[in-house]
Amino acid sequence: MTDLTRLTAAETAAKIASGETSAVEVAKAHLDRIAAIDEKVHAFLHVDTEGALAAARAVDGKRAKGEKLGPLAGVPLALKDIFTTEGVPTTVGSKILEGWIPPYDATLTRKLKDAGIVILGKTNMDEFAMGSSTENSAYGPTGNPWDLTRIPGGSGGGSSAALASFQAPLAIGTDTGGSIRQPAAVTGTVGVKPTYGAVSRYGMVAFSSSLDQGGPCARTVLDAALLHEAIAGHDPLDSTSIDAPVPPVVEAARSGDVRGLRVGVVKEFAGEGYQAGVMERFNDSVEMLRELGAEVVEVSCPSFTYALAAYYLIAPSECSSNLARFDGLRYGLRTGDDGTRSAEEVTSLTREAGFGPEVKRRIMLGTYALSSGYYDAYYGSAQKVRTLITRDFERAFGEVDVLVSPTTPTTAFPIGERADDPMAMYLADLCTIPANLAGNAAMSLPCGLAPEDGLPVGLQIIAPALADDRLYRVGAAVEAAFTARWGHPLLEEAPTL
Ligand code: GLN
């Protein structure tokens, strides 16, 4: 018998459409898997058994009536707990939203439901998406299915762990500085940060609004493309949403032809701090692209060196403003409201009790960087660096069609190793942050295992804004070539839990 949890999303949808299996059977197989192993992994904060089965029954009902099903109808998905879900808890990994049940669906949630995708539940994450390891979740860490003592990446570690442990074939993440791509890299899965504005932010809890971008996560490039197509598109409810056609991502993922494509290797993403095995696998991928007919050149983006510093001023600044709304009066937690205290005191006690240390650190940093007298020196300078980074990209994309780099400098590190060292933690996003600052599209996909520790390595591909289809073209080519040579790192060498 086929194990329904081992199929790709495309295979699952085909089996449901042909009647070989039903959406309910598929949902049950995944819910059983979650019940059996998630105690060990802790990918989910909330499992919506009833909602998932109802959604699956609706798909089966449509099929029985002969209605046309969408390309992902009946396929289960793990949703990062940063998107609002009507009637289902949404915590953003924070105590401050504990017990909050949103009265509305995010646009992305609505689109998933309209596509007949079955939402299994909400996944664990670093509080307010601040972190690179999921250790900042107020609800405890998530384990990496390759080695449960290691981090699954962050902030979307629950989503990547759900994929890598076969609890769901599809997942959703959000990427402000790397939180889709870095978890994908360290769990051997595929994650895409679409062009800024390509996927609606309406109903996605804001961290740093000029950088935040939701996107698809999956085990294969084609599955990610199918999900990308389902969630992208203009949304009048999000003022930064792009009013342009969705690039032909599925077509690109099916083609995977890179002959004549110009690929730039970013010179600055190498050297000290990069694990030898990560560089080895990255160099293999570059060689492979050459063999597939791409033209590979080295490019220099000198301002990328300052990306991390600029990000850690811009993101905290925006978060200090965005998180002001958690005042103990509007949603979730309220502390100290005993009738003797003023509203200000209740707000202060609620924020003291509801936010964790990383969130507090960033609110303080951001408030400082935005304060009069320091604004120009910190926030203003960071914005200038952001412009320089955008120009570096523009120059590079004048010469090449896509850029490539390792997604992360190292493979998954042990839980606890960087927990008390924010600076070491921030380094995990060294290679991913520039694309957020410029608003470009970027993907991470598996490119083998590092020889020294046997853990997955991610290849990052970056494309110009609105050229998301190039990611899928290159990603599909690399995935096919790797699979032909060594087998798919996750589908065949999957860790058994
Ligand atoms: N790790 C980065 C941070 O802590 C990026 C987070 C994200 O992309 N949400 O801010």
Nearest-atom number in ligand 1 for the CA of 175 is 8
Taking the centre of ligand 1 as the mean of its atom positions, its distance from the CA of residue 449, in whole angstroms, is: 24
Give ligand 1 pocket residues (Cβ under 6 A): 129-132, 155, 174-179, 207, 315, 429
Closest CA to 436 of 267, 209, 130, 160: 209
Q: Of the given ranges (197-206, 398-407, 421-430), which has the lowest mean pLDDT? A: 421-430
220, 437 contact by CB (below 8 A): no
Query: Which sign, positive or negative, has the C-alpha torsion 267, 269, 271, 276?
Result: negative
Cβ–Cβ under 8 Å, residues 209 and 198: no
The sign of the torsion formed by the CA atoms of 234, 236, 240, 244 equals positive
221's tokens:
């490039």
- Phi, psi angle pair for 378, to nearest 5°: -105, -70
Contacts of 144 (CB under 8 A, 6+ apart): 150, 151, 152, 153, 157, 161, 164, 186, 187, 412
Task: Give the nearest ligand 1 atom to 131 CA.
Answer: 4
Pocket test for ligand 1, best of 132, 133, 205 (most atoms within 8 A of CB): 132
CA distance 183 to 143: 11
Q: Where in the chain is the domain with CATH 3.90.1300.10?
A: 4-303+403-493
Q: What is the pLDDT of residue 1?
A: 56
Do 84 and 112 meet the contact criterion of CB atoms below 8 Å apart? no
The amino acid that residue 359 corresponds to is: V
Reported as a single tens digit per residue, the pLDDT across 373-394 is: 999 999 999 999 999 999 999 9
Ligand 1 midpoint to CA 327 (Å) = 23
Q: How far is the CA of 425 from the centre of ligand 1 (A)?
A: 10
Written as six digits, the tokens of 389 are 């980074």
Q: How confident is the model at residue 488 (pLDDT cuts 50, 70, 90)?
A: confident
CB 264 within 8 A of CB 404: yes
Question: Which residues, other chains included, contact 490 with Cβ-Cβ below 8 Å and sequence gap of 6+?
Answer: 164, 188, 189, 219, 446, 456
Nearest-angstrom CA–CA distance, 379 and 67? 53
3-class secondary structure, 263: strand
Ligand 1 centroid distance, CA of 20 (Å): 41
Give SS3 for 98: coil
In three-state secondary structure terms, 240 is coil
* Top mutation candidate among 176, 201, 211 for ligand 1, by most atoms within 8 Å of CB: 176
434 sits in which H/E element: helix 433-438
Q: Give the pLDDT of residue 492.
A: 72
Nearest CA to ligand 1 atom 4: 131
pLDDT class for 465, splitting at 50, 70, 90? very high
Ligand 1 centroid to residue 133 C-alpha, Å: 9
pLDDT average, residue stretch 309-333: 95
Instruction: State yes or no: pLDDT of 495 exceeds 70.
Output: yes
What's the confidence (pLDDT) of residue 494? 67
Active site residues: 80, 155, 179
Of all residues in the chain, what percent carry a pLDDT higher than 70? 99
Looking at every residue in the chain, the average pLDDT score rounds to: 96
Q: Could you give phi then psi for residue 190, rounded to 5 degrees?
A: -105, 135
For tokens 């660096």, the residue is 385
- What is the distance between the alpha carbons of residues 424 and 183, in angstroms, rounded to a whole number? 16
Strands 295-299 and 262-266: parallel
- Res. 134: pLDDT tops 60: yes
Strands (E), 239-324: 262-266, 295-299
Place of tokens 């000290």: 272
Name the residue with tokens 């309220």.
Answer: 334
In ligand 1, which atom is closest to the CA atom of 429?
Answer: 1
> Domain spanning 4-303+403-493: which CATH class is it, in words?
alpha beta
Run of H or E residues at 215: strand 214-218
